[in-house]
A and B are shown apart, each in its own frame.
Chain A
Amino acid sequence: MIKPGTRLWSTTCSTAVVVVRPPKGDVALTCGDAPMAESEQPAQGGTPKTEEDGGTLLGKRYSDADSGVEVMCTRAGDNAIAADGRVLLMAGARALPASD
């Protein structure tokens, strides 16, 4: 079970994420088709594997509707993240003005 706050690093590109919403059950998170590591990895080079495998952007949230897992990207990379093989989709930007 992956807890919120867990940090994960790609082993195929420079992507790093923090889990901000846990999955409902066990789920395998991968990046560029390889399992993600729970310890810091040096930024790996890599090329997108497929057309929809478009990589990650700093500060964006990616989620999987089926498992409920949501991650936030803390280091951008070339490969996309998937949960049990389903590519995570970027959550829409929120346009809330600063209030405090």
Chain B
Amino acid sequence: MDPSVLLEMVADAAGDRRAVGALTYGDLHARARAVAGGLSGLGVGNVGFVDEYSETVPVLFYASAMAGLPFVPLNYRLSDDALRAALARIAPAVVVAGPEQRDRCAGIDGITVLGADELPTGPLDSVGPGDVSVLLFTSGTSGEPKAAVLRPDHLTSYVLSTVDFLGAGEDEAQLVSVPPYHIAGISTVLTSLFAGRRIVVLPAFSPAAWVDLVTAESVTHAMVVPTMLGRILDVLAERGESLPALRHLSYGGGRMPAPVVERALALLPHVDLVNAYGLTETSSTIAVLGPQDHRDAISSEDPAVRARLGSVGRPLPTVELEIRDADGAVVPVGEPGEIFVRGEQVSGEYLSHTATDDDGWFPTRDRGYLDAEGYLFLDGRSDDVIVRGGENLSPGEIEDALLTHPLVDDVMVLGVPDVEWGEVPVAAIVPTGPVADEAALEQELREYVRERLRSAKTPARIFVRDELPHTETGKALRRVLRTELAAETPA
């Protein structure tokens, strides 16, 4: 079913509600339909978008769906070469680009560049649902970005199985602060609007601007990635603000340190916290740790319940989830392995190949384990596992141990080649303040890990750095750190 039918349903039932910016649901639907008519006459195969988030995103998303064309939001932070290579892959296409992006997109065979104020319009002849709704380039933390394919049925089944139609009150507003090329930036156009919740856009994230906009627009709902939350909490603590309008804050898209969650619960006691785990390839969320889970965990003295603050919750009722070992066998409770998922919202398909097996199971390349109550804990990417003398070590466990040290502000652990062990863990840390003697700190931290874990898990080296490489949405770029460390340490 074409995802634009979901917008049409809300526009029919509550056309006067505000959808995004000054547009009501009726306006948004009419605008998307007019643009769809213009797009369908162009003879292109894709509709690209290269700009910061704006109300053009929902307009183009639904217009593309109505015209039966894939919507392709691209990362405007890519280098010129990488951006142009990605654009060449989606030709023939019309690409809507921001004023600062237009020149970078110009002169590519089969690519027509338009400004957001130049969208074509026209009458729309009836077209069936397209084959593909969205093409989204994955962040490519471990290599070349892959173009994930999301089809109409993936997106509509995700919405219908997770959102109550018009379930939001008229006063509810959702703040979008992730970029349009992040899966949550796309899925919110479906889920928030199907719930009848108005979308408020923050085009470029800064923690102060986020806090200001929540107050100015009486934002009730928001979604942030882990790196945003810590910085937002710093601003709130500094200003002594508590965001009384905010009711619901979800976070996801990367590893969230438990101390940050505890701080959020303390600073925002009136806010429902939700931890969501999902991937581009699964049409967004596949597991959630809900508000009550957070409250139960923080107030529990049972270590197993308390530990759930670090969990991503339980799989959605419509998603099957298994943890499998390297041979493909399902592992017992508590044992780590690779996370496999199956369900109507799961695509697992890329332009180049399909990762999903014949039975519909998608290997996420994420590692994790389930506790006795079915709560899922993430344990890093399969590609990041360090194999030391035949033993699998998780960087996350070592990072968590180092993060509890008062002098460590940020940390990344990765494996480097070693003659004796094959591979050994090394760490790079950002200290909380100036360090007088780096060698002494390294010694102290190694001893600290050895006491808490064991010697196999103790980093062979600990490097002190000013900052660590992340994607702008907070994913660890171990690949970049590996290159940096290799350049600094002679073999």
Contact = CB atoms under 8 A, between A and B. Distances in A.
B288 A99 contact: yes
B250 to A, nearest CB: 5
B184 interface: yes
A interface majority secondary structure:
loop
Interface stretch (A23-31, A41-49, A80-88, A90-98): A90-98
A52 interface: no
B9 A74 contact: yes
Interface in A1-60: 3-5, 7, 16, 18, 20, 58-59
Nearest to A22: B1
B245 interface: no
Contact of A59 (B167, B274, B284): B167
> Which of A4, A16, A96 has the most chain B CB within a 10 Å cutoff?
A96
Interface of A: 3-5, 7, 16, 18, 20, 58-59, 61, 72, 74-75, 93-94, 96-100
A74 to B, nearest CB: 5
Interface residues of B, number: 42
> Which of A5, A75, A100 has the most chain B CB within a 10 Å cutoff?
A100
Contacts of B1: 3-5, 20
Interface of B: 1-2, 5, 9, 12-13, 129, 153, 156, 160-167, 174, 183-184, 187-188, 191-192, 195, 197, 221, 223, 248, 250, 252, 272, 274, 276, 278, 284-285, 288, 290-291, 316-317
6 contacts: A20-B1, A59-B164, A61-B160, A74-B9, A98-B192, A100-B223
Contact of B248 (A4, A16, A72, A98): A98
B40 to A, nearest CB: 18
B274 A97 contact: yes
A28 B245 CA distance: 48
Nearest to B285: A99
Contacts of B160: 20, 61, 72
A39 to B, nearest CB: 14
B356 to A, nearest CB: 21
Nearest to B292: A97
B188 A100 contact: yes
Nearest to B6: A18
Nearest to A3: B1
A4 to B, nearest CB: 4
Nearest to B288: A99
A98 B165 contact: no
Nearest to B164: A59
B288 A97 contact: yes
Contacts of A93: 164
A78 B362 CA distance: 44
A20 B1 CA distance: 7
Nearest to A72: B165
Nearest to A75: B13
> Which of A4, A16, A58 has the most chain B CB within a 10 Å cutoff?
A4
Contact of A72 (B9, B162, B278): B9
A91 B165 CA distance: 13
B13 A100 contact: no
Contacts of B316: 96
Nearest to B318: A94
